[in-house]
Structure formats: C-alpha cells, structure tokens
C-alpha cells in the first residue's frame, strides 16, 4: 500500500499512480469505518438507548420476532452509527483525491467550504433527532390509535431512525452545494432568484422522498430546505460571487 503524499495541480501521475492512491484512500476509509463500527458495537447499549429516547414511555419496549433479530438489529444500528461517525473522514478522503484536479482558483473557491461540511452534517443530524423524529413519531403513533394495538418492531424503528438522521445530515449540505456551484460560475445568484419557484417545488419533492410517510414530518423537512435555499442565496450574494477583478484576470472553468 502506497504512502499518501500531497499531489500538486501541475504534477503528472500515471494511471497506475492514480489507482494506487485511490486504493490507499479506500483502505484508509474502510479501516476508519471498521474502527468506528467496533467502537459503536462496544457501546451498542448506549446507542440503542439514545435511538429509543424519542419514543414515548409506553413504546420503548421494542419487539423482536426471531431469535437472531436482536443481534442483527444491533449490528445494523451500529453500522449506521459508524457511517454517520465516519462520514467526515470519508468525505475528506474523497475531496483529497479529487482536489489536485482543480486549478488554484477553483481550489481557493472550494477549500473554505470543505471545513463546514462536517459541521452542517452534524447540525442536520441534530435537527432530525430533536425536531423531525419526535413530531413524526408522535403523529404516527397517535394516528387512529384507538383502532390499532400498536407495537413497534425493533428492526423497522431503528431503520427509520437511522435513515432519518442520515437524510437530515445530507439535506443540510444544500448551502455548500449551491455556494460551490456559484463560486465555480456554474450558477449565478440571478438564476437562483429567477428559478425560486422551481427550487421550492424540488425542495418539496425531496422532502416527500425522505424517510417519513406522514405529512407532519414532510412539512417539518420542507421548511428547513426552503430556509437553507434562501440562506444559500444570501451567502452566494455575499461571499459566493467571484469578484469582477478576478473574472477579468482569471479564466472561467469553461475556458480552462
């Protein structure tokens, strides 16, 4: 396994060197993921308690229907937790691999945004845990509660919990994506404003596609998407647009 070293933009590497670097970064990512999974499995009781915390007291005793289901459910939850913990490190490996392909100007536009990716992902997970999950669970468990004897199966609930947190983390990356597109001159602030209605529709479709089939969670997930979109426009207008002097001195991406 090759030792990783910084690669400059003008440095020419062979296909074998690129594949060797890619293999090394994949091995590093898988190793970090394995360590994160081991730690999560070691503390699986804590993780399961945290995941079950949004449930009402009457539904905290989750049901398993097979001898192996408790073990497999624990493994699955720990795997999701390891993915969430490892996401910042894996994203760093991805960007570190593709960053040398960008020119110095493009790199200056992208680098400041990379540091906020883990923070926004964490904020999205926290928002999903404290806002989306309680509202969705309360609505779903109380809907026609007199007609159903509701018992929660552990596998389904923990899968819903994990996917909701992952979706919340991914959704909160919207400002970074829009800001990067503006800094790279793929989009402009005027285009973002003129297509606001279509963007709202796309946000609603994304919210409907996220975990949670009830209208309450869909509404709660749509609101932050719209707010994040408007925040992205403000950020793009303030710090995202390339300066005119820079445009006159440095060719655009299409010219490179």
| 98 located within any domain | yes
227-234 own/partner pairs: CB under 8 Å, 24+ apart: 228/171, 228/172, 228/174, 228/175, 229/174, 229/178, 229/192, 229/196, 229/199, 229/200, 229/203, 231/175, 232/174, 232/175, 232/178, 232/179, 232/192, 233/178, 233/189, 233/192, 233/193
For the chain, 256 residues long, give each residue's pLDDT as a single digit of tens: 555 555 555 556 666 766 787 888 889 899 999 999 999 999 999 999 999 888 888 777 888 888 888 899 999 999 989 988 888 788 778 777 777 766 677 667 667 667 777 888 888 888 888 988 888 888 878 776 677 777 888 888 888 888 888 888 888 888 877 877 777 777 788 888 888 888 888 888 877 777 655 677 677 778 888 888 888 888 777 655 555 444 444 444 444 4
Q: Which residue has the tokens 């946000």?
A: 203
Domain count, the chain: 1
| 9 located within any domain | no
C-alpha 231/C-alpha 229 separation (Å) is 5
pTM of the model: 0.72
| 161 located within any domain | yes
* β-strand partners of 63: 153
The parent domain of residue 157 ranges over 15-249
Q: Which residue has the tokens 């945290």?
A: 50
Which two three-digit tokens encode residue 100?
Answer: 């040398």
| 7 located within any domain | no
| 8 located within any domain | no
| 46 located within any domain | yes
| 1 located within any domain | no
Which two three-digit tokens encode residue 204?
Answer: 């609603």
| 10 located within any domain | no
């Amino acid at each position: 396994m090759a030792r990783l070293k910084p690669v400059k933009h003008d440095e020419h590497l062979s296909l074998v060197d690129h594949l060797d670097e890619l293999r090394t970064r994949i091995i590093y990512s898988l190793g970090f993921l394995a360590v994160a999974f081991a730690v999560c499995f070691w503390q699986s009781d804590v993780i399961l308690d945290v995941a079950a915390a949004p449930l009402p007291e009457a539904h905290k005793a989750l049901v398993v229907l097979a001898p192996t289901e408790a073990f497999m459910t624990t493994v699955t939850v720990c795997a999701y937790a390891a993915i969430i913990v490892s996401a910042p490190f894996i994203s760093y490996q991805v960007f570190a691999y593709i960053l040398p392909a960008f020119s110095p100007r493009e790199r200056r536009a992208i680098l400041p945004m990379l540091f906020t990716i883990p923070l926004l992902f964490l904020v999205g997970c926290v928002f999903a845990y404290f806002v989306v999950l309680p509202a969705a669970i309360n609505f779903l468990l109380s809907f026609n509660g007199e007609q159903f004897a509701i018992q929660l199966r552990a596998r389904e609930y923990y899968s819903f919990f994990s996917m909701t947190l992952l979706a919340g983390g991914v959704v909160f990356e919207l400002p970074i994506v829009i800001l990067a597109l503006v800094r790279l001159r793929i989009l402009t602030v005027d285009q973002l404003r003129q297509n606001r209605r279509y963007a709202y529709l796309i946000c609603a479709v994304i919210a409907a596609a996220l975990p949670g089939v009830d209208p309450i969670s869909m509404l709660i997930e749509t609101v932050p998407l719209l707010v994040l979109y408007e925040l992205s426009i403000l950020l793009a207008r303030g710090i995202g647009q390339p300066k005119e002097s820079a445009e006159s001195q440095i060719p655009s991406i299409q010219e490179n």
